[in-house]
Structure 1
């Protein structure tokens, strides 16, 4: 998941003392947190992360970071956080300029390929057995981050990107006591909501990763199957094949029947969630990251349900890894040892359990704490477990392909391109990159 529309980023530096201090910079696009362990003898470590300040999972992760800082007076830790919508632009820019910090998160996952090819990411082959041996991760957990036989990054969470969150009472008002089980019924629901004067679906696509990562990654898999992207890359299939065009036509149809708020290309995904929470729409389509946010912030009298997209004959959900960290290849000696220690102690059992207690799936066999989960998050995890994983496009495809696809999806929504034309543009980019 990524953003192409960057804005000016300002950095401020505060003392890393409490999670409250860490998250107090929510109104800035970028913030730096500097450790109190600032002595001449301390090893300096910089860590660059995608901020979701205010999100419970971000706070759980930063608690682990803060604990590490408090326990290691010999390491001077500086954390710079950048808003999620700006992060991939900053990451790509710094990687291209050879200016990556000591440690950094990878988002989107597809960015890792270029970073590795540029020589900027260091292998973690020598430490990955730490998580395999303690049972927190498996060998397969590292598959997305293994290039030419070496592993370059470490995941914390599993990130399914497509669920439908819906207001049960708003659906009941137009005659739906349960969520539609077929696509035709889903379209009928949208029409009934429009007839009642209710916006059916909140969408925020000003940062155009949303239609790509949340929408088309899921829609397309229901038509193409999960091997499609590999088949395209090998030349067996093309994006111009009818099954992919059919998926693009779903986006076109939803726009044509006025499924979305009118300003969907000018608001972002956070504003989208706000619209839904404020009762300005009956539904929103978003990833697992919204489950805990919705549960914690919804009005007490608001009844929210969750469902998978009723489309096609499969129940696949696009899924990738989240909270992924890597190490700069330039690190050596004490600095490299400090970075490895940071990963081992921050990515520990407690932080995996903390994520799971929030309803965020993790790629390990830790038991789900059902008594600690809110009903919405528990249902989200159950839906995930019952589904087949599908590729998230921007976790697999090149930046050039994703840019072309995201531009094309926006063009479809404003009537400047047809699904067939967008498919041709994306396939042309495949051929350019061959």
Structure 2
């Protein structure tokens, strides 16, 4: 069955994001609309503001934490070395693991004041929102001139493309289905890190008997519970059926979905009691401190462990694919595009060239904790975790993330988030299945 997604107006998205984030961003001066209708295969003349000497590029993101902020600053430093005449405005917005930034972005985009370029996840977060609303320029001309079709994986390019046009440049790849664990806790208790669900529950019982929280969770921000659930779902039904849930070929009342909810419900018996008061960093700290043994989180947690907490991989903490997902890589990719109507189009194009370059990605990703989207990176610049992830990225079957915008439209993802948030409290499997089926029925046809 072919999948089509109902597209909401940008104004509707803006209102939803503002409500969810509890903050807004009023537009400042209207943007210069020059250069917004250039064909995808050519570059326009320099806009008036750039020709007049005001050479700037505003980079909008939610990268304010230690590792991610360091990565962005490293990228900016490289860009300014190459383009000392262009001023870089770092317009990062903190808070809510990106929720606050997305709310501000929605307000600016709907108000006619787009940033020159902004962070957006590859997949439906990009395509069903800004591309569907005709807010982005195609970047085919850059992929051709920079040779990017040869160095970015085809499947990743497809996640950023619609109707033959590619709309953003991927700067990194994160893996969502990772189980991090405290090596000392496992060594001292003569336990082996689990790779299957059966092994997890056996190990969890042993840890619980010793007064150690088996699994850390911090779902003060609801996306983290969904992040855990989507890894469980992938582990139960496998990548083919998981992908089928989003193209309409697999129903959300499939027995595997019910089994995943039952497994998730059982797993929640082994998380920290104060999970609703903690965020993902707090949960990671529990693992770092040995108060909890394991945590399922995207591999930005590796950057948090090493940059913020000064831990050493394979010494203080270890990692493995989340249970039953060996051979599958859940993809999360941060990308940047070229909005229509921006003031500094030519300067932004130069920034995108640096962002997509091998040099740029090898500066950014070792600091961020992610791996490069390009396939020709200098492997010597990366740590043990990243080298393993790069190998898996090139050989594993790929699946998209619900929690991070690549698997489903923003509206569908929000509905699934709400279902899982309620489920964490109630544990009502029948209701959760019914609500997931209803959500799919409203978004897929």
TM-score normalised over the length of structure 1: 0.81
User: Paired residue for 2:379?
Assistant: 369
User: Paired residue for 2:322?
Assistant: 309
Deviations along 1:140-197, one digit per CA (max 9) or x if unpaired, are 4321110122111110111111211111221233331x32243212111111111111
Whether 1:207 aligns to 2:221 is: yes
Match of 2:431 among 421, 429, 433: 421
1:348 Cα offset (Å)? 2.1
Q: Is the 8 A contact 1:158 1:321 kept in 2?
A: yes
Whether 1:395 aligns to 2:406 is: yes
In the alignment, the residues of structure 2 paired with residue 219 and residue 184 of structure 1 have an alpha-carbon distance, to the nearest angstrom, of 13
Q: CA, structure 1 residues 263+202, in 2 after alignment: closer, same or farther (shift >3 Å)? A: same
Size of the aligned set, in residue pairs, is 397
Q: CA, structure 1 residues 263+380, in 2 after alignment: closer, same or farther (shift >3 Å)? A: farther
RCO higher in 1 or 2 (8 Å CA, sep ≥ 6)?
2
Match of 1:42 among 34, 39, 54: 54
Whether 1:352 aligns to 2:361 is: yes
In the alignment, the residues of structure 2 paired with residue 293 and residue 76 of structure 1 have an alpha-carbon distance, to the nearest angstrom, of 29
User: Paired residue for 2:13?
Assistant: none
Other structure's SS at 1:67 match: helix
Deviations along 1:48-104, one digit per CA (max 9) or x if unpaired, are 11214301x542332222332354354343221012332233333433444421211
Q: CA, structure 1 residues 149+173, in 2 after alignment: closer, same or farther (shift >3 Å)? A: same
Q: Is the 8 A contact 1:319 1:390 kept in 2?
A: yes
User: Paired residue for 2:287?
Assistant: 276
Other structure's SS at 2:286 match: helix
Aligned-CA RMSD value: 3.1
Deviations along 1:359-392, one digit per CA (max 9) or x if unpaired, are 632232225535x544444445455556432221
Whether 1:405 aligns to 2:416 is: yes
Q: CA, structure 1 residues 49+114, in 2 after alignment: closer, same or farther (shift >3 Å)? A: same
Match of 1:144 among 145, 154, 159: 159
TM-score normalised over the length of structure 2: 0.79
Written as runs of structure 1 = structure 2, the 5 A alignment for 1:321-340 is 321-322=333-334, 324-331=335-342, 335-340=344-349
1:38 Cα offset (Å)? 11
In the alignment, the residues of structure 2 paired with residue 329 and residue 265 of structure 1 have an alpha-carbon distance, to the nearest angstrom, of 40
In the alignment, the residues of structure 2 paired with residue 283 and residue 253 of structure 1 have an alpha-carbon distance, to the nearest angstrom, of 16
Q: Which runs of 5+ in 1 are unaligned?
A: 12-36
Between Structure 1 and Structure 2, the one with more helix by share is 2
In the alignment, the residues of structure 2 paired with residue 228 and residue 315 of structure 1 have an alpha-carbon distance, to the nearest angstrom, of 15
Deviations along 1:390-409, one digit per CA (max 9) or x if unpaired, are 22123121122211211111
In the alignment, the residues of structure 2 paired with residue 362 and residue 382 of structure 1 have an alpha-carbon distance, to the nearest angstrom, of 12
